[in-house]
Structure 1
Amino acid sequence: MSSIPAPTSRKPAAGPGRPKDLGKRTAILEAAKNLFVNEGYGVSMDQIAAAAGVSKLTVYSHFGDKEALFSAAIRSKCDEMLPKDLFQPDLKGPLREQLLAIARAFFALVSSDEALSMHRMMLSSAQTDAPLREMFWNAGPQPTIDALVAFLRARVEAGELAIDDIDRAAHQFFCLTKGELHNRLMCGLGGRPGRAEINVHLQSTVDFFLRGYAPR
């Protein structure tokens, strides 16, 4: 009779590919954000890899292609300055304070040097085409609008606001938040507004919005 072999321990099957190095991913994103802002979309993947201190193969391994990296860089900047926690409708506190927090974060984002430079690049026909502008919109502005729509819808359902067209109201809120201060910054006029001026602008914006959509 043949002997039964003793059971042997088996190693778990290896997953598909190596786990990604989060440190390298962060370095690539930071390099991409800086280069896209300063040099436009024409920056090469070789330049991004060199700035991040990694190989071009590593960049492609993490992000697939230049379009995906550009979108990820825009999303990363938005998430950094407009964290999703701001839009949680179940947070405790007055509605006005939550809207002020969203307005402050949004204005800080759109008035940053990086955002102003990117906005100007998007408006330059020599630098960009329609697909790139659409990619930018879908990676940054649209998710931010969607988050505010969800926030406002929850507040409408709670009876704190009366809004028929919530999507339009979200666009109105962000346009009001930018206001003349952002237009002047885009044109390079008058220097940067001070904190007091920004606070007055944002508070009046939120109060105007709340008066317009107060339950009747």
Structure 2
Amino acid sequence: MSARPTRQPASAGASKPASPGRPKDLAKGAAILEAAKRMFLLHGYERMSMDQIAAEAGVSKLTVYSHYGDKQTLFLEAVKAHCEQQLPEALFEPSPATPLRERLLDIAAAFHAMISSPEAVAGHRLMCTPQIADSPLPNLFWEAGPRRIQNGFAALLQRRIEAGELEIDDVPRAAVQFFSLLKGEFHDRLVMGCALETTGSVDEHLKASIEMFLRAYGQRPGAARTRAS
């Protein structure tokens, strides 16, 4: 009689399939995220606890942990949600029918509105506090917010290059330059609480920044014909 195959014991390091468990309540998840945005900005990162956020959201602490795992993850999800709300992925879609200058102006207006909002200014100041500056949070914050925006814009630039509308050798650098132009002196003054200059409107500043960007990277007349010849 042949021996029956023996069942191998699972190794200690083998990962087990996650149990589906109960589906998460999306409304509670959204309430936690909104509460986290408010509480982090009002009281800072270090002084906030998951208990306080749970109380603000009207849920149990266990519910907060089941949705977001820990305070750091919740903070980063709040940053990501704020950026996605202000600069949705749709702004970085190819949309070849939309003229390049118009698309850049749409992105510029949304970006400027985001960075000048009270929430964004408070978050920027929070990242500069000594308690946060010496922690891993600034780098994580950068990846969850600014880096995501830069990457999305760089992908848009690459598609416009392929369409023959732009000439850019270093696309990631050009993406950084674009948003730096949009910030200008305005954002520095806003974060530091200085009186804002009144030389020209925000709309004029954004349009001038886009014109400068296009003068640097826009397709030169006859360039397409030169490459094709």
4+ residue stretches of structure 1 with deviation over 4 A?
A: 191-194
Match for residue 83 of structure 2? 78
Shift of 1:41: 1.0
Whole-angstrom distance in 1 between the partners of 2:106 and 2:96: 12
Whole-angstrom distance in 2 between the partners of 1:123 and 1:30: 22
Residue 185 of structure 1, aligned match among 184, 190, 197: 190
CA contact 1:181–1:193 (8 Å) conserved in 2: no
Q: CA RMSD in A?
A: 1.6
| Count of residue pairs the alignment pairs up | 201
Between the two proteins, what is the percent identity of the paired residues? 53
Match for residue 217 of structure 2? 213
**Cα displacement string for residues 130-156 of structure 1 (whole angstroms, at most 9, x for unaligned residues):** 411111111111111100010000001
Shift of 1:184: 1.2
Shift of 1:214: 1.5
Shift of 1:91: 4.6
Whole-angstrom distance in 2 between the partners of 1:23 and 1:152: 36
Match for residue 163 of structure 1? 168
Structure 2 segments unaligned to the other structure (5+ residues): 1-18, 221-229
Q: Is residue 2:141 matched to residue 1:136? A: yes
Match for residue 199 of structure 1? 203
TM-score (norm 2): 0.84
CA contact 1:41–1:128 (8 Å) conserved in 2: no
Shift of 1:54: 0.2
**Cα displacement string for residues 31-55 of structure 1 (whole angstroms, at most 9, x for unaligned residues):** 0011111111111101110000000
Whole-angstrom distance in 2 between the partners of 1:140 and 1:87: 15
Amino acid at match of 2:58: G
Match for residue 120 of structure 2? 115
Look up the SS of the partner of 2:194 in the other structure.
Answer: coil
CA contact 1:185–1:192 (8 Å) conserved in 2: no
CA distance 1:52–1:185, change in 2 (3 Å) = same
Match for residue 27 of structure 1? 31
CA distance 1:36–1:192, change in 2 (3 Å) = farther
Shift of 1:127: 3.8
Structure 1 segments unaligned to the other structure (5+ residues): 1-14
CA contact 2:132–2:138 (8 Å) conserved in 1: no
Shift of 1:191: 4.7
Matches within 5 A, 1:46-85: 46-85=51-90
Whole-angstrom distance in 2 between the partners of 1:105 and 1:111: 10
Match for residue 226 of structure 2? none
Look up the SS of the partner of 2:45 in the other structure.
Answer: coil
Match for residue 98 of structure 1? 103
Whole-angstrom distance in 2 between the partners of 1:23 and 1:118: 25
